[in-house]
Amino acid sequence: MKRRQTLKVLSTLPLLAVFPAFAADPVKKEAKKNAKKAAGGASKKLGKLTLIDEKDTLASAMQYKHDASKVGPMRSDKKANCANCAKYNVCMDGDADCKPLSKADLKKSDVAPCQIFKGKLVKAEGWCLSWQKKA
Ligand code: SF4
């Protein structure tokens, strides 16, 4: 190793002590990236709310899917999705952690709270049995 390279490596050591994230395992980084890709690159967190898991008991009972096009015959209105549902971006009564997004933020976001899933986010492109046309 040349002297210049050695000095470069040595100069990063104090940074690694202060910011251990700089030393993050590249394999873990790649796995995280792939997990985000698998979830469709969607936002998974807004404040304290997290993206609902399709396998969640209530989500499963409501036949919630992140991708409305994968629902099947139960979804008779082919244009129905969370983004045009009356319960999208509405918080459940008593959910102190939930705050609806502003109009501007809602336009930029691919997720928002849903009135029937406390503490959870749903995808704009999602759908469930409780879909109700937005007035
Ligand atoms: S009620 Fe169902 S369709 Fe409506 S926003 Fe919530 S998850 Fe989406």
d(CA 18, CA 5): 21
Q: CA 62, CA 20: separation in Å to the nearest integer?
A: 42
Domain definitions of the chain by residue range: 1-38, 42-135
Put simply, whether the predicted model's pTM sits higher than 0.85 gets the answer: no
Which of 82, 89, 129 to probe ligand 1 with, by most ligand atoms within 8 A of CB? 82
Q: Would you say the CB of residue 87 lies under 6 angstroms from ligand 1? A: yes
Per-residue pLDDT in tens (0 to 9) along the chain, 135 residues: 566 665 565 555 554 444 444 445 555 555 455 444 444 456 789 999 999 999 999 999 999 999 999 998 999 999 999 999 999 999 999 999 999 999 999 999 999 999 999 999 999 999 999 999 999
Distance CA 16, CA 81 (A): 46
Integer Rg of the chain from CA: 21
Q: Would the CB of 51 count as within 6 Å of ligand 1?
A: no
The atom number, within ligand 1, closest to the CA of 127 reads: 3
Check: CB of residue 97 under 8 Å from CB of residue 47. yes
Q: CA quadruple 75, 79, 82, 86: dihedral positive or negative?
A: negative
91 CB near ligand 1 (under 6 Å): no
> Has domain 42-135 been given CATH number 4.10.490.10?
yes
Cα 133 to averaged position of ligand 1 atoms, centre (Å): 10
Q: Closest ligand 1 atom, CA of 126? A: 8
